[in-house]
Amino acid sequence: MNIRTSLLVAALLPLLASAQDKYATRNGEISFFSHTAVEDIDAVNHKATSVLDAATGAIEFAVLIKGFEFEKALMQEHFNENYMESNTYPKATFKGKVAGVTAEQLKTAGTYEVTVSGELTIHGVAKPVSSKGTLVSDGKGAVKASSDFIVKPADHGIKVPGGVNVAEEIQVKARIDYQKL
């Protein structure tokens, strides 16, 4: 067990007594994609932090907005300065619950279809969300989580000037490899 990830969980879920069913990572991958007629917009962040408490279903993750990497420098600059205002709102967070799998199930190898519901906060605006996801356990303490969902910038107060080439819906993919604490 990695002591640093143990301390990560202790900081994120301080009220929970037992670490037996907790999984965590500080290297989760969050990416998003938007297709428009002019050009595709896509970026990836490799440093999402997340904790999953399989006993209660509680799940949390946090990601730094400035950590999203684009191909083009100007696109990254506009994303941070004009749309996400990342100096003011440096993080996106999610707090919620995973339903459809038990702690005991995750201790055995298998693939589990789940529903993740909770509150997604982007640009300082929180919105309830729910999406399908998949948890793949190797039965030895590693759990791969994946979920694809849609985010609407307008739902989080992200203003896109008229005529600017940004889609109304952004496709987001979360790929998180947890390790048991």
Partner 1 sequence: MNKKTIFLSIAVVACIAAGAAWYLAQKPVERSLTKEADIVVNASDLLAAFTADETAAMARFAAEGTVVQVNGTVRSIDRSEPSKVAVILETGDPLAGVVCEFEPAFAPDWKDGMDVKVKGACTGFLMDVVVNRCAVVE
**Rounded-to-integer distance, Cα 138 and Cα 178, Å:** 11
Question: Please, which residue, 115 or 144, has the CB nearer to partner 1?
Answer: 144
**Rounded-to-integer distance, Cα 41 and Cα 36, Å:** 8
Is residue 113 close enough to count as binding partner 1 by CB under 8 A? Answer: no
**Rounded-to-integer distance, Cα 28 and Cα 150, Å:** 18
- Counted residue by residue, the chain has a size of 181
Question: Please, which residue, 70 or 83, has the CB nearer to partner 1?
Answer: 70
Question: Please, which residue, 1 or 99, has the CB nearer to partner 1?
Answer: 1
**Rounded-to-integer distance, Cα 85 and Cα 66, Å:** 10
Is residue 77 close enough to count as binding partner 1 by CB under 8 A? Answer: yes
Return the residue of 31, 56, 91, 167 that touches partner 1, per CB under 8 A. Answer: 91
Return the residue of 76, 115, 117, 121 that touches partner 1, per CB under 8 A. Answer: 76
Question: Please, which residue, 64 or 160, has the CB nearer to partner 1?
Answer: 64
Q: What letter represents residue 149's amino acid? A: F
Question: Please, which residue, 80 or 117, has the CB nearer to partner 1?
Answer: 80
Q: Which helix (H) or strand (E) holds 22?
A: strand 22-35
Q: Enumerate residues 6+ apart whose C-beta is below 8 A from 64.
A: 45, 47, 90, 91
Is residue 120 close enough to count as binding partner 1 by CB under 8 A? Answer: no
Which stretch in 76-84, 102-110, 125-133, 139-147 sits in contact with partner 1 by CB under 8 A? 76-84
Q: Can you say how many angstroms the Cα of residue 162 is from the centroid of all Cα atoms in its chain?
A: 29
Where do contacts with partner 1 occur on this chain (CB under 8 A)?
3-4, 7-8, 11, 26-27, 46-47, 49, 62-67, 69-74, 76-77, 80-81, 87, 90-91
